[in-house]
A and B are shown apart, each in its own frame.
Chain A
Amino acid sequence: MSAGTYTPRPGAAPLPRMIAAQTALETRMLLRNGEQLLLTVIIPTLLLVLFSAVDIVDTGSGASVDFLAPGILALAVMSTAFTGQAIATGFERRYGVLKRLGASPLPRWALMTAKTLSVLVTEVLQIVLLTAIAFALGWSPGGNPLSVLLLLVLGTAAFSGLGLLMAGTLKAEATLAAANLVFLLLLVGGGVIVPLEKFPDAVQSVLGLLPVSALSEGLRDVLQHGASMPWAQAGILAVWAVLGLGAAAKFFRWE
């Protein structure tokens, strides 16, 4: 390189450009990761197709896809905002990525904004794919789209808070194990594919407080039963969001 190549000319890129670049990179990393795709795309798709086609679980009256699609959408949000984000962020912390970015011109809040945007982009891709499949399986949703949007946003906030709390406090390997375990438990016990009514009453009321139950039940109220706005479920998600994001903000360690 010729003389003067390295002559200092420092400066941060404009914030929107930094956030856009970071969002694009985070999204690419997520879509390139096979294990992540398994959680965010393949498992929800398989569950939707399999359980709609084969009557394994009694999903009540009506077409089973009408019961399943809202639950699978809730699962998709959980897989990206909670499981995927927890695992990815946990390893970024472990490998010093968060530390290194902390010395770059990108402010911390902008990094978190980019992470959130990346989660939202991924969710949009998931929802488009899963909705298309559900329609192909004969899904006929009802209700107010704005209520659906609000529930999805609240669910994303709740799961992100919990995912980041886990990623920022536990070891990467522990996060990997715990996030997958939680995913599996909530898949079974969170009203995603198994109706909560199948559980004993006492258990049911506890399970109903889980974020994934609140999201899947809330989405079902709107999309399957045409409710205008399930405030109870929205409230539960809001409480999880406040607790999760608050705890993550307080306890998250960058290194």
Chain B
Amino acid sequence: MENEPVVQVTGLVKRYGAKTAVNGLDLVVAAGAVTAVLGPNGAGKTTTIETCEGYRRPDAGTVRVLGLDPVADAERLRPRVGVMLQSGGVYSGARADEMLRHMAKLHAHPLDVDTLIERLGLGDCGRTAYRRLSGGQQQRLSLAMAVVGRPELVFLDEPTAGLDPQARRSTWDLVRELHADGVSVVLTTHFMDEAETLADDVAIIDAGRVVAQGSPERLCRGGAENTLRFTGRPGLDLGSLLKALPDGCGAAEPLPGTYRITGSVDPQLLATVTSWCAQHGVMPEGISVERHTLEDVFLELTGKQLTGKELRA
């Protein structure tokens, strides 16, 4: 049971009228993992998640969550799954603590509401009605509502959209704590750094399909080569340097005294470069290794830039 996937989506198709939102999507989510569903707006992230939550009926394909059908077995599934909607979900006149206490009452063994309120920094919302809370406070309340029932699996739809950097990190910390305590987490995001930082597993969605899935490390390794840069005396003998490097590497001096090595950058390569410099009496300065980011991978796979890049923490 432990190793059975918590979510298994096979050949999911969902259309709204003439528009196909999800087009033959396959997704497997491992138990106990943090899985990020990454994609630009309109890629089908929310439709996929909402199908898993039982809100949408697939036009084709199958969806299993904790081994159950989200529509047919909804009643059995709902207590076990926590849901954070992209927006809304709270009575406009309700106070944050009131709504959270209410959600807690619908569960058999809820978390302590006061502790959770403090944990998410909602204590200062006091007697303010939901409609008067800031966007960030509303987001955090929605997150609290998803976890208060002590679910096995949570679906978080864009949990940090619109949050300031501090609130984002606090949300990330909570996701890590959930993960540490064995809760499976599926989150959608269009923030690369969020997926890279939080996720054990990333599924990149574009135009209603998963175009790549794997750990951030594996996805990045699968992409283009990495880069090592350093500065030194101008006019070094690149031919000699290249001979010292393994096959398939490149070396260039784009600006006088600025050097760029491309290839599979690992500790061995770094050692080769520094020892070559030592042999040639060069003091390499400002050595930097640029790992390929998910952003690069995403761009290569989809030809698209993600939005929200400017919020990179």
- Which A positions have Cβ atoms within 8 angstroms of B? 1, 3-14, 17-18, 21-22, 25, 28-29, 32-33, 91-92, 95-97, 99-100, 102-107, 255
Contact = CB atoms under 8 A, between A and B. Distances in A.
Given A7-B182, A96-B85, A17 B105 contact: yes
A11 to B, nearest CB: 3
B78 A92 contact: no
Given A96-B88, A99-B55, A104-B103, A12 B93 contact: no
Nearest to B150: A9
Contacts of A17: 105
Contacts of A100: 83, 85, 88-90, 145
Interface in B215-262: none
A21 B103 CA distance: 9
A100 B105 CA distance: 15
Interface string B166-183: 000000000001101111
B55 A102 contact: yes
Contacts of B92: 91, 95
The 7 closest A-B pairs by CB, nearest first: A96-B88, A100-B89, A11-B108, A103-B83, A6-B181, A21-B105, A12-B79
Nearest to B118: A1
Given A5-B181, A18-B105, A21-B105, A10 B90 contact: no
A103 B54 contact: yes
Contact of B78 (A21, A99, A103, A255): A103
Nearest to B81: A103
Contact of A33 (B93, B105, B149): B93
A96 B89 contact: yes
Contacts of B107: 10-13, 105
Contacts of A32: 93
B206 interface: no
7 contacts: A3-B181, A6-B183, A8-B151, A11-B149, A14-B108, A100-B83, A103-B54
B111 interface: yes
A151 B55 CA distance: 38
Contact of A21 (B53, B83, B102): B102
Contact of B109 (A1, A9, A96, A106): A9
Nearest to B177: A6
Interface in B103-121: 103, 105-109, 111, 115, 119
Contacts of B102: 21-22, 25
Contacts of B79: 10-12, 105
A104 B78 contact: yes
Contacts of A3: 180-181
A99 to B, nearest CB: 7
A95 B150 CA distance: 25
A95 B54 CA distance: 19
A106 B145 CA distance: 14
B177 A5 contact: yes
B158 interface: no
A144 to B, nearest CB: 39
A6 B147 contact: yes
A10 B152 contact: yes
Nearest to A25: B102
Contacts of B75: 107
Contacts of A25: 91, 94, 98, 102
B226 to A, nearest CB: 36
A14 B182 CA distance: 25
B119 A10 contact: no
B88 A103 contact: no
Interface string B195-224: 000000000000000000000000000000
Nearest to A102: B55
B67 to A, nearest CB: 14
B80 interface: yes
Q: Which of A8, A29, A33, A97 gathers most chain B CB within 10 Å? A: A8
B65 to A, nearest CB: 12
Contacts of A91: 92
Given A99-B55, A100-B89, A1 B119 contact: yes
Contacts of B145: 100
A12 B91 contact: no
B108 A13 contact: yes
A104 B151 CA distance: 11
B41 interface: no
B305 interface: no
Contacts of A28: 98
B177 A1 contact: yes
Interface string B62-84: 00000000000001001111010
Contacts of A255: 55
B90 A29 contact: no
B87 interface: yes
A5 B116 CA distance: 10
B106 A104 contact: yes
A142 B246 CA distance: 104
A2 B210 CA distance: 36
A17 B110 CA distance: 14
